[in-house]
Amino acid sequence: MSTYSDYYLRDNPFPVAPILDPYSEKAQLNGTIYNPDIMAGEIESFRSKIARRPPLIYIENKVFERGVGKSALLVQQWRQLQKRNDITSVYVRSGQKLMPTDFAAHLVNRWHHDQYLWSVVLRVLTTYVEQTPHGEITLAGAKRFCETFPRLPLRGLSLPNFNVFNPDRLINDLAAWAYRQVGDTLHYDLALVFFQSYLSDPRTFPDAYPAVLRKHKWDNIAMLAAVYRLLRLAGYDYNYLFFDQFEDVVHGLSGKSLLTFSAEMRRFIEASIGQATVVVTLHPGAALALDSPDAVAITSIAPRDERHVVEVRPLAREGANLLCHTYLDYFRLPDLPPPNPLYPFTNEAIELIYEAAKGNVRGCLQAFNYAIEKGIETGTPLADKEFVIKYHSDISGRVHRDAVSLSR
């Protein structure tokens, strides 16, 4: 044994550090390897809640252990919803010190980078030209602009190149048109800075709008409410906001800090009702914080009950086989079938790994990785029961019970 090809693989399918990063280029880390049969019950529960559009959905596990698959479930649904053209679906990874206003700022940046806000510009420009044929841009100029920039341009723009007679007047016209469509929920100054930045140099938008917020003494939650209205102008009727690792924000909050966070989070949710559903992950420690009376501002509007909670359980025994098979199959060499779908593992080896990890998805994936690497290192053609017992500590991080018995 010397390379992964000896295992009929083009690489080690399993992550050495299974931390999910949906923007990673590595399939082992970005969540694209996913078998819906492994969490069929959780997916059905999640989808039914997504369809009902509550203000907040909690993805929780009841055991005090990370790595049961909450983030993978969240990312899978985020990606599924991205395929739709009538909604937006955005992902934000939480950080320990983020406040709800910080989440709002991250969301605006994601709508920008994920092209949703550029769709607003193209749709508004097209509608403006249809309704104002003698306006500041010709029909042919608007059509050529949309064809030239179907995606967000990462450079400055020159509107005169597209038969725009007076760029400043066009920008003011578009801002005024957008303001008239949605009324006071989108302040004219925010509409103006939106079109000014996007139609001069789109790269400047994330740095341009905070000046308007400071001028009017608004915060990013006010900006969030305005962006919801802008997105509707592009035909996005609803928004799904996925906050991964939300437990890192909530865990450890208590007293005044939890009261402040909860009050601000309630403002965020109230600004989003009818516009968006927020999806968060929670582990038991964070759930305990939200059960506190100091968090009632959140839980009174979105209780942690069956209507709002998707419970994620540890893997079932058969789920470990499915998990292993799914990753192996993704990295199989083309036109070179292995001796069996689970090769180089046997059912007994996977059973031992499953038991050592106690059904924890992250633990299983990491052990599968170590087993592949140990097999290559030792020149072992098959990771069977005897192999896993012999190298149990290297693979699982735990000493096997048979080794304990022999040492006595």
pLDDT tens digit at each of 408 positions of the chain: 568 999 999 999 999 887 899 999 999 999 999 999 999 999 999 999 999 999 999 999 987 667 789 999 999 999 999 999 999 999 999 987 899 999 999 999 999 999 999 999 999 999 999 998 888 999 999 999 999 999 999 999 999 999 898 999 999 999 999 999 987 778 999 999 999 999 999 999 999 999 999 999 999 999 999 999 999 999 999 999 999 999 999 998 999 999 999 999 999 999 999 999 999 999 999 999 999 999 999 999 999 999 999 999 989 999 999 999 999 999 999 988 999 999 999 999 999 999 999 999 999 999 999 999 999 999 999 999 999 999 999 998 765 555 444 333
Residues 374 and 288 in one domain: no
Domain span including residue 331: 4-18+315-407
Measure the CA–CA gap between 363 and 343, rounded to whole angstroms. Answer: 20
- CA distances (Å), 3 to each of 7, 10, 12, 154, 381, in order? 8, 9, 10, 42, 11
- Asked if 135 and 129 touch (Cβ cutoff 8 Å), the reply is yes
Is 153 in a helix, a strand, or coil?
coil
Residues 164 and 191 in one domain: yes
Residue 406 is predicted with a pLDDT of 38
Determine phi and psi for 294, rounding to 5 degrees.
-70, -15
- Say if 110 falls within a structural domain: no
Is 42 in a helix, a strand, or coil?
helix
The total domain count for the chain is: 3
- Asked if 193 and 209 touch (Cβ cutoff 8 Å), the reply is yes
Measure the CA–CA gap between 218 and 212, rounded to whole angstroms. Answer: 8
Residues 213 and 147 in one domain: yes
Measure the CA–CA gap between 281 and 290, rounded to whole angstroms. Answer: 12
Residue 407 is predicted with a pLDDT of 39
- Omega before residue 341 within 30° of 0, cis: no
Residues 332 and 292 in one domain: no
How many Cβ atoms sit within 10 Å of the Cβ of residue 65?
A: 16
Residues 307 and 319 in one domain: no
Last residue of a domain, one of 282, 311, 340: 311
Residues 122 and 217 in one domain: yes
